[in-house]
Amino acid sequence: MSHSHKLVIKRSSMSRPPPPPPTTNKDQQHQNPSLQEINIKLIQSGEKERLKELLRERLLECGWIDEMKALCRAFTRKKGRNNVTVDDLVHVISPKGRASVPNSMKAELLQRIRAFLASTAD
Amino acid sequence: MSGPNEDNNTQLSSHIFGDLLDSIIVDVASECHRIAKLGLDRNLEEEEEEMRLSAQARARVADPSNSSETNTKYVVDIFGQTHPSVATEIFECMNCGRSIAAGRFAPHLEKCMGKVIPISSYHISICLYLSIMIDSYYDREFCAIP
């Protein structure tokens, strides 16, 4: 929907929370092409958008998005809707959200990402 | 494929997946934030309304002087108009002709438009116009950089 695209564009330039710190060791930075390069290829080829849509669709199908929305509503009810910020809600749903992605779904996405990486390897 | 390359690819993939997931989390949070601020969650609206009314009633009962002005969120201005705590801009609903406060407009429209049987391009343009207005209201009120 056009609304959510507009919000995404705005959000990414404003109060978007910092990306999670890299969990990998420092060696990675010496060995592989930079994550930035890969990201650029992902975006330019349109694959990033396709992957995101695929993930969103899967998450919708399995009820994950409904679950996250319920968490947001519960938090909003407690804190009061005039006091709630986007950052609040991100922090509310991130831990549970990251932990509750079905393994099969994660595997499917990872496989597709790996396929993309293989296809762009020089 | 060589070992180290595979490991790198695995780590990279995980990182990229994490990025995608985080991005969707932000989307969901933003959408819920918007719904909350625009009063589109009807259950929440009804709950809040009940809580507000009961708090008012309790305050009225408890206060010996029983001055209603100080105990409610409604202030009467010099023109005799009340200003509720939701957004004060008043719009006339193109559908039913009623005057609706901006903060109540979205939920009103949800109910109101449901009663229209013929869908004309007029109605569609009004809906588009209104959603643009509601969006810009949301942006101005809740997304402006402090």
Q: Which residue does chain B place closest to A54, by CA atoms?
A: B20
Listed by number, the residues of chain A in 38-57 with a beta carbon closer than 8 Å to a beta carbon of chain B are 38-39, 42, 48, 51-52, 55-56
Residues of A in contact with B131 (CB under 8 A): 3
Residue pair B126/B134 in contact by the 8 Å Cβ criterion = no
Q: CB–CB of A117 and B9 under 8 A?
A: yes
Measured between CB atoms, does A62 come within 8 Å of chain B? no
* Average pLDDT per consecutive 10 residues, chain B (146 residues; last block may be shorter): 72 94 97 92 81 83 62 61 62 76 75 64 80 86 78
Token output for B126: 């009004």
CA distance A86 to chain B (A): 6
Cα separation of A68 and B39, whole Å? 18
Decide if pLDDT at A5 tops 50.
no
Token output for A7: 């919000």
A73-87 pLDDT, tens per residue?
Answer: 999 999 998 899 999
Q: What is the DSSP string of chain B?
A: --HHHHHHHHHHHHHHHHHHHHHHHHHHHHHHHHHHHTT--HHHHHHHHHHHHHHHHHHHHH-SS--HHHHSS-EE-TTS-EE-SS---EEE-TTT--EEEHHHHHHHHHHHHTT--S--HHHHHHHHHHHHHHHHHHIIIIIS--
Angle between helices A64-79 and B42-62 (to 10 degrees): 20
Domain annotation for chain A: domains and CATH numbers: 42-119 (1.10.246.140)
Residue B92: strand pairing partners = B99
Give the pTM: 0.60
Residues of B in contact with A55 (CB under 8 A): 20-21, 24
Residues of B in contact with A38 (CB under 8 A): 12, 16
Q: CB–CB of B44 and A42 under 8 A?
A: no
Radius of gyration of chain B (CA): 23
Q: Provide the ipTM.
A: 0.74
